[in-house]
Amino acid sequence: MTEADPLRLLAVHAHPDDESSKGAATMAKYVAEGVEVLVATCTGGERGSVLNPALDRPEVWERLPQLRVEEMARAREILGVRQEFLGFVDSGLPEGDPLPPLPEGCFALVPTEEAAAPLVEIIRRFRPQVVLTYDERGGYPHPDHIKTHDISVVAFEAAGDPERYPELGEPWQPSKLYYHMGFTLTRMRALHEAMLEAGAESPYAEWLATWDPERDMSHRVTTRVPCADYFPVRDAALIAHATQIDPTGRWFACPMDVQQRVWPTEDYELARSLVDSTLPEDDLFAGIRSEVTIP
Ligand SMILES: [Zn+2]
């Protein structure tokens, strides 16, 4: 790493729209500070549903893969990030009992070493100090999210090793790997209680009622990035994914000022680090800033 090296953040996501629902305000904040941010989107989201009732029409379903590319382009502009598709095919969310088999050729069925290759290439070309991905359970149990975690961990470890994937460019070792920790019980409860106090109906009651405390990750949060000023940018990017997001739905039910006051951060777990930083942190680049400069 040289003096002139700018800060770079790579966020790895499963589908178009995931970058806008997980860590979007963090990315917008770093972009505003001059950090280079690249989103790597593993799949094209081809097997997603139309989740916006206003757009649930045959002509929308017919064009869904192309629409999702166009929506991603709008969200990318709103967030001010660069974005690349890795080119894998959406596995879909299997439903039913027993679960149906995953469709042939989908992302989740590609062997992990092979699926990690395009991400290793991106890491070596973009040279991020920080990589963001999902936890080992995918944040939620979609096979593409779990696969996204798996390839991120493999690529983080392999990108700096000249003996692995030697054909994919000059080795580059990122310094920190983080997992998104946005959907913690602690945060949901805080927002829920603030809405009840305000005399409003809480959109989180159902989530909280069915929450399995065993699965809560609150205790794993190491890093809270203050980014409340960028929550409106996050919401605009989410709305750009028009087929995926119901603008009258739960995502937007909690008033902006309540969110900004009650939980003004996006939260992460520092999963791997090759630099020293003191926990808890409020900056994904803690321990790195002293070595590099922002252009
Ligand atoms: Zn997803």
Instruction: Please provide the average confidence, as pLDDT, over all residues in the chain.
Output: 94
**Which pLDDT belongs to residue 294?**
54
**Which pLDDT belongs to residue 168?**
98
How many A from CA of 111 to the centre of ligand 1?
19
How many A from CA of 139 to the centre of ligand 1?
10
Tens of pLDDT along 148-205?
999 999 999 999 999 999 999 999 999 999 999 999 999 999 999 999 998 988 888 8
Tens of pLDDT along 13-37?
999 999 999 999 999 999 999 999 9
How many A from CA of 19 to the centre of ligand 1?
9
Could you tell me which CATH number the domain at 8-183+218-291 has?
A: 3.40.50.10320
Q: Are strands 265-273 and 36-43 parallel, antiparallel or unpaired?
A: unpaired
One-character DSSP codes across 81-95: -EEEEEEE-------
Q: Does position 291 have pLDDT exceeding 70, yes or no?
A: no
CB atoms within 10 A of CB 80: 14
Tens of pLDDT along 85-115?
999 999 999 888 898 999 999 999 999 999 9
Q: Does position 77 have pLDDT exceeding 50, yes or no?
A: yes
* Coil vs helix vs strand at 42: strand
* Coil vs helix vs strand at 112: helix
Domain boundaries, the chain: 8-183+218-291
Average pLDDT over residues 279-287: 97
Q: Does position 292 have pLDDT exceeding 70, yes or no?
A: no
Identify the residue whose tokens are 């039910």: 253
Instruction: Please enumerate, by residue number, every residue annotated as part of a binding site for Zn(2+).
Output: 15, 18, 145
**Which pLDDT belongs to residue 1?**
47
Average pLDDT over residues 135-160: 95
Tens of pLDDT along 238-251?
999 999 998 888 77
Is there a contact between 72 and 83 (Cβ–Cβ < 8 Å)? yes
Helix-then-strand count for the chain, H and E: 11, 7
Residue 71 burial by CB count (10 A; 0-12/13-18/19+): exposed, middle or buried?
buried
How many A from CA of 96 to the centre of ligand 1?
19
Q: Which of 130, 128, 126, 118 is nearest to 168 (CA)?
A: 118
Identify the residue whose tokens are 């590609």: 110
Give me the helix-helix angle, 231-240 and 64-79, nearest 10°: 160
How many A from CA of 20 to the centre of ligand 1?
10
Tens of pLDDT along 256-276?
999 999 999 999 999 999 999
Alpha helices in 95-179 (DSSP H): 112-115, 117-126, 143-158
**Considering the chain, what percentage of its residues have pLDDT values greater than 90?**
81
* DSSP letter (8 states) at residue 124: H
How many A from CA of 277 to the centre of ligand 1?
31
